Amino acid sequence: MTRKPERLAVDGPAGRIEIAVDHPAVFPADGAGEAARGIAIVAHPHPLFGGTLDNKVAQTLARTFTELGYVAIRPNFRGVGASEGAHDHGDGESEDLVRVVDWALGRFGPLPVALAGFSFGAFVQTRVAKRIRAERLVLVGVPDGLVTGGRTYRTEAVPPDTIVIHGEQDETAPLANVLDWARPQELPVTVVPGADHFFHRRLQLLRDIVKGQWKA
């Protein structure tokens, strides 16, 4: 038995934060409550380039976590959808995700918290991981250094069990950049042959990689 995603609002430092809550894929039919394994916060790509909580990669990550038994929460960054505030280049967005984590722990109880993000959302999650105790991270299409559009990222180092997935033909965040970021950390990167930044026609493979590595 499954539940439809909820659309809610959380009070954040810059105003309302719109979130979508995806519940675990299986929960008790008697309505006695959901036996969630944990909470997964899923961050979407750059808001100034069309990124929203409805992004296909973000949705795929959320669906993957619900299949693993997590409550998956997808916030809209500042200025996107019903979220208030203005884009803050990762600073305010990190604050907002920490606030969403606090809200989720208050609603769903003291559960492990996983952090997942795609593109700009992955960059933000590396910063959030410095501020909360995360069970594990999943980062897809991580930007570091110079990327398309002349933007530059200085992405934080992450724990050694972080799952990092990148497209071989990523035209936005070059593969060479993420390898340069990962190399001094001795951090493995799973490269999907032929995949572009948005993993077109490879979303099922993305889900399978996360599920396989999460259980490892």
Q: What 3-state DSSP class applies to 76?
A: coil
Do residues 72 and 61 lie in contact, with contact meaning Cβ atoms separated by under 8 Å?
yes
Nearest 5°: phi and psi at 122? -65, -45
Instruction: Give me the torsion for CA of 93, 96, 98, 102, rounded to 10°.
Output: -170
Q: Where are the domains of the chain?
A: 6-214
Tell me the per-residue pLDDT of 142-178, one tens digit each, with 9 for 90 and over: 999 988 877 899 999 999 999 999 999 999 999 999 9
pTM: 0.94
Decide which of 3.40.50.1220, 3.50.50.60, 3.40.50.1820, 3.40.720.10 is the CATH code for 6-214. 3.40.50.1820
Q: How many CB atoms lie within 10 A of CB 91?
A: 10
Q: Determine the pLDDT at residue 153.
A: 93
Question: Which structure tokens are listed for 16?
Answer: 């309302």
pLDDT 10s digit of each residue in the chain, 216 long? Answer: 567 889 999 999 999 999 999 999 765 544 445 579 999 999 999 999 999 999 999 999 999 999 999 999 999 999 999 999 999 999 999 999 999 999 999 999 899 999 999 999 999 999 999 999 999 999 999 999 988 877 899 999 999 999 999 999 999 999 999 999 999 999 999 999 999 999 999 999 999 999 999 986
